[in-house]
Amino acid sequence: MTTVASDAGTVRFDLIRETLETTNLGELRPGSQVNVERSLRVGDELGGHLLSGHVSATVPVIDDRTEPGYRRLTVRVPEFWMRYLGLKGFVALNGASLTIAELDRQASTISVSLIPETLTRTTFGDVRTGDRLNLEVDPQTQAVVDTVRSILPDLLGPTQAQSTE
């Protein structure tokens, strides 16, 4: 989102109906904490995954486990979006790019492990079971999957393509 004002640790954004319907931002109150990262500029060093900032859906946290040295969150992902996610691939939750540690297509869930540094620098330390997080899938993966799915019937023929769904 575009920052419209910032001062002394406070950032303000304009929220439109689409944003309120697609994200969890409408649930926030003045003073709520959010993850904010400056946009990447051409020529900047890339130290992580490329994100577009476009939220695909909100996903509920269904399990929250703290283990020695990390915390693991499990979220339920709408079936439609699962096709764009892969084990050890990345996903953005609440604006933070994270590696998928576990993926269960049948249950439509993914888990991410949060190291102490991530818990210190983000709002994930406050996340609890039942909270809804913003989900962003990689737009390049989405384009590849959608392209393959659209041409697969032509390549395999209608009978074989149906069995791969």
CA 137, 138, 140, 144 dihedral sign is negative
Domains of the chain (ranges, CATH numbers) = 52-144 (2.40.30.20)
Determine the pLDDT at residue 35. Answer: 82
- Between CA 22 and CA 133 the distance in angstroms is 11
Return per-residue pLDDT of the chain as tens, 165 residues. Answer: 788 888 887 888 888 898 888 888 888 887 888 887 777 788 888 766 777 778 999 999 999 999 888 899 999 999 999 999 999 999 999 989 999 999 999 999 999 999 999 999 999 999 999 999 999 998 888 999 999 999 888 777 766 655 555
Per the rule left: phi > 0, alpha: psi between -120 and 50, beta: everything else, 116 is alpha
Neighbours of 75 (CB within 10 A): 22
Which residues, 6 or more positions from 58, have their beta carbon under 8 angstroms from its beta carbon? Answer: 22, 23, 24, 132, 133, 134, 135
Q: Is the full-model pTM beyond 0.85? A: no
Determine the pLDDT at residue 51. Answer: 76
Which residues, 6 or more positions from 143, have their beta carbon under 8 angstroms from its beta carbon? Answer: none
